[in-house]
Structure 1
């Protein structure tokens, strides 16, 4: 059995996925399949985006 290496995603990719989740055009399952990322990861990135969005206007 070979050990699976962890993937690292760029901040730009995370932002793109999180913005797609915020839009709400597609379900989490559809986004997960489209971007090849677990739905829980998308939810985490979406929450981080929403929490940090207030800092943009601060």
Structure 2
């Protein structure tokens, strides 16, 4: 008994097949035969395309705003680290600064 290797399809092929299925001009069987994939796979790729298509237009230009709490947390962590370094330097140098 020989094991058959799974086919891996490129994202470009998946997009072509899914777009063809969305157009609805051919049946899933016709599309599957044309591109050499299983008809069930055509339906899955079509469903994935329709589900993720809204996110294509959701992206906006420019950097995404960072949550307020995340930047505060980062700053407080930096302040704490710098204070520890300053205390260590004071201790090692023997200088009594306020």
Normalising by structure 1, report the TM-score.
0.94
Offset at 1:56? 1.1
Q: What is aligned with 2:6?
A: 6
Higher RCO (CA-CA < 8 Å; seq separation 6+): 1
Q: Which runs of 4+ in 1 moved over 2 A?
A: none
Offset at 1:27? 0.5
Map residues 1-58 of structure 1 onto 2, 5 A cutoff: 1-58=1-58
Normalising by structure 2, report the TM-score.
0.57
Offset at 1:41? 0.4
Aligned length: 58
Offset at 1:57? 1.4
Structure 1 unpaired stretches of 5+: none
Give the secondary-structure state (helix, strand or coil) at the position aligned to 2:19. helix
Q: Distance in 2 between matches of 1:28 and 1:42?
A: 6
Question: RMSD in angstroms over aligned alpha carbons?
Answer: 0.7
